[in-house]
């Protein structure tokens, strides 16, 4: 029995598909095998359970708790945190990439040619994903199929909306340039709102730091002499 058959006996197909979808969101260049990931997690969970069970007096209580904590930490480290980090990077690159793509389209190129020119002019994760789509087209896929497959590798709903708009414009002959300008304006406004959101959190952060550090320090300075005299 190989590892895939073993994993399929342990986990449901729905759960395996969910993990595969998450692994795909790490990008085409990611080498993580979802079955190896599930097998590694399963083995390490068993080890954590056994170690806690036999290392502590109340191991039968601690072991299940440790397994639940480890399970969540494992998913966070190897999947969720990487997906969030990749999402942030992609959204930072998106506005510049699509602006260059729009300029390429305005020169009279079709969508495939414009994407090819843009990926050769702009570097980054998003550019690499589009470059992979163009490579798939050269091997026989249609551009629409390649872009649809690309959406499965992109964790950002915002970028996927742009890709969907490109796909529909390519299929139905809508104005790609007008759609891109609309999407770029949305990306710009979204970026502004995110910056404003971070700025609005600064006073709260300063208040928390003041409560945790400066207020106790002031109390020590004010009450210190009194306490020393009392002692």
Average pLDDT over residues 184-195: 82
| The pLDDT of residue 231 | 63
- Reported as a single tens digit per residue, the pLDDT across 66-93 is 999 999 999 999 999 999 999 999 999 9
Domains in the chain, ordered, with CATH? 3-86 (no CATH), 88-192 (1.20.81)
Q: Which two tokens stand for residue 156?
A: 């950002």
In 10 A of CB 78, how many CB atoms? Answer: 16
- Reported as a single tens digit per residue, the pLDDT across 191-229 is 888 777 777 776 766 776 666 666 677 767 776 676 666
| The pLDDT of residue 212 | 67
| The pLDDT of residue 211 | 65
| The pLDDT of residue 180 | 85
Is the separation of the CB atoms in 129 and 153 below 8 Å?
A: yes
Is the separation of the CB atoms in 99 and 41 below 8 Å?
A: no
Cα-Cα-Cα-Cα dihedral of 81, 86, 89, 90, to 10°?
-140
- Reported as a single tens digit per residue, the pLDDT across 125-146 is 999 999 999 999 999 889 999 9
Core vs surface per residue 91-121: b (16+ CB within 10 A) or e: bebbbebbbbbbebbeeeeebbebbbbbbee
Contacts of 92 (CB under 8 A, 6+ apart): none
Length of the chain: 231
Grade residue 153 by pLDDT with cuts at 50, 70 and 90: very high
3-state secondary structure of 8: helix
Question: Between residues 188 and 100, which one has the greater pLDDT?
Answer: 100
Write down the residue that tokens 């998106």 correspond to: 94
């Amino acid at each position: 029995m190989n590892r895939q058959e073993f994993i399929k006996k342990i986990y449901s197909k729905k759960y395996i598909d969910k993990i595969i979808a998450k692994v795909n969101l790490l990008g085409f260049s990611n080498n993580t095998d979802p079955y190896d990931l599930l097998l590694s997690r399963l083995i390490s969970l068993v080890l954590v359970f056994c170690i806690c069970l036999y290392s502590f007096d109340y191991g039968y209580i601690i072991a299940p708790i440790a397994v639940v904590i480890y399970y969540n930490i494992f998913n966070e480290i190897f999947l969720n945190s990487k997906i969030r980090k990749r999402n942030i990077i992609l959204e930072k690159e998106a506005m510049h990439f699509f602006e260059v793509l729009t300029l390429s389209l305005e020169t009279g190129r079709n969508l495939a040619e414009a994407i090819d020119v843009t990926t050769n002019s702009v570097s980054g994760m998003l550019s690499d994903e589009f470059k992979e789509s163009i490579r798939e087209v050269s091997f026989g896929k249609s551009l629409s199929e390649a872009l649809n497959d690309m959406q499965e590798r992109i964790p950002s709903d915002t970028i996927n909306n742009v890709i969907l708009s490109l796909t529909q414009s390519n299929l139905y002959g809508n104005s790609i340039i007008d759609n891109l300008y609309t999407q770029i304006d949305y990306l710009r406004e979204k970026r502004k709102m995110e910056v404003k959101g971070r700025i609005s959190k600064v006073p709260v952060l300063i208040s928390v730091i003041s409560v945790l550090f400066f207020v106790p320090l002031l109390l020590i300075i004010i009450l210190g002499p009194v306490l020393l005299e009392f002692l």
